[in-house]
Amino acid sequence: MLKKLFIAGTLLAASVGANAGAITLSPVSQNVNLGNTAGVDVLATVTAGTAVGEFDLTVLFDSTKVQTTGISFLGFLGARGTQQTNTDLSVAGAANAAELSLETTATLLGLQTSQPFALFHVDFQGIGLGVSPLSFKASPRILGDGNGSAITLDSVGTGSITVLGGTGVPEPSTIGLFAVGGLALLGKRLLHQRL
């Protein structure tokens, strides 16, 4: 229901006027070892004085190489309770995120002071060796301003995740780091006592 209202509102408002914008991925490309995770931010850049108030975007990927493990919204369209969100990970090879802000345009402009800013974050896990291209589904691909008017996308970025063989090198645990640091301090102290 939210998605239908969102699409109808954006399409209706498209005739009122359009602003320019772009959506991109960050990082554009990255490597991940088989079984490990990688994250991608979906970024928006819009015309100065324009606030993003809604979006409905689908990131496409090769489901034989990576799978999505989650989507998170990053707060640039308002705090919890001031926006409505929807995610759909049920279609293989597609991660959909939609958000509709209930904030005023002035509040949104205050949240979106730097360009580009992240709309949402997608986590992927490497499940098959090779390259998974990342792109956006052509339709519906919606970005709207704080007044419900459509933002024309002048540029739509792409990206990739390369899944490599082998397992990742685990990072040392915090306790391990403290132990190494403590041993170094102890060694330094013993060395100074002998001198």
Q: Which of 156, 146, 125, 129 has its CA nearest to residue 59?
A: 156
pLDDT of 175 over the 80 cut: no
Using DSSP, state whether 52 is helix, strand or coil.
strand
pLDDT of 98 over the 90 cut: yes
What is the value of pTM for the model shown?
A: 0.74
The C-alpha angle with vertex 68 and arms to 64 and 74, in degrees rounded to 5, equals 150
Q: Return the CATH architecture of domain 2-194.
A: Sandwich (2.60)
Give the C-alpha separation, 193 to 119, whole Å: 57
- Read off the pLDDT band of 39 (50, 70, 90): very high
Percent of the chain at pLDDT exceeding 90: 63
Q: In angstroms, how far is the first alpha carbon of the chain from the final one? A: 77
The C-alpha angle with vertex 158 and arms to 64 and 42, in degrees rounded to 5, equals 95
Higher pLDDT, 144 or 173: 144
DSSP conformation letters of 147-169: TS-BEEEEEE--EEEEEESS-PP
pLDDT of 16 over the 80 cut: no
pLDDT of 53 over the 90 cut: yes
Burial readout 47-75 (b: 16 or more C-beta within 10 A, e: otherwise): eeebbbbbbbbbbbbbeebbbbeebebee
CB distance 156 to 85 below 8 Å: no
Give the C-alpha separation, 20 to 149, whole Å: 11
C-alpha dist (Å) from residue 141 to 97, 114, 165, 172: 11, 23, 34, 42
Give the C-alpha separation, 29 to 89, whole Å: 21
Q: Poorest-confidence range of 47-51, 94-98, 147-151, 167-171?
A: 167-171
- Read off the pLDDT band of 162 (50, 70, 90): very high
- Report the pLDDT value the prediction gives residue 75, as an integer from 0 to 100: 87
- Read off the pLDDT band of 58 (50, 70, 90): very high
Percent of the chain at pLDDT exceeding 70: 76
